[in-house]
Amino acid sequence: MNSRSWKDNAPALDREGVTGTKIYSQTEGEIVYMRLTPGAHLKAHKTPVNVAFYVLEGNATLSIGDEEQTFPRDTIIDSPKDIPHAVTNKGDSDLRLLVIKMPKP
């Protein structure tokens, strides 16, 4: 049995209020723990695989393609591959979420 905390790994991304730490990385997929401080924004980008966002804390404003919507805690959001997506924290507290990529890009 393997276990770990997101705190056990160094961030793969750490800039402008956005921290991303890979907590699972195997051939079948990848999970990234992300934290965005109030007002922080992860710029729009595309991935070659489908992505699911799971909101752990706060409210996540996601832009996927031409759509933008805000989602509360305990919501999972699908983002299809090859469609630009971005995440913004418009709240006044930290936003924490899991980014799940299947298969691993």
Model pTM score: 0.91
Quick check: is 2 in a domain?
no
| Region 85-96 average pLDDT | 97
Residues 52 and 67: beta-carbon distance below 8 Å: no
Q: Provide the residue range defining the domain that includes 50.
A: 11-102
Residues 86, 46: Cα–Cα separation, whole Å: 9
Query: Which CATH number covers residue 50?
Result: 2.60.120.10
User: pLDDT, tens digit, for every residue of 34-68?
Assistant: 999 999 999 999 999 999 999 999 999 999 999 99
Quick check: is 65 in a domain?
yes
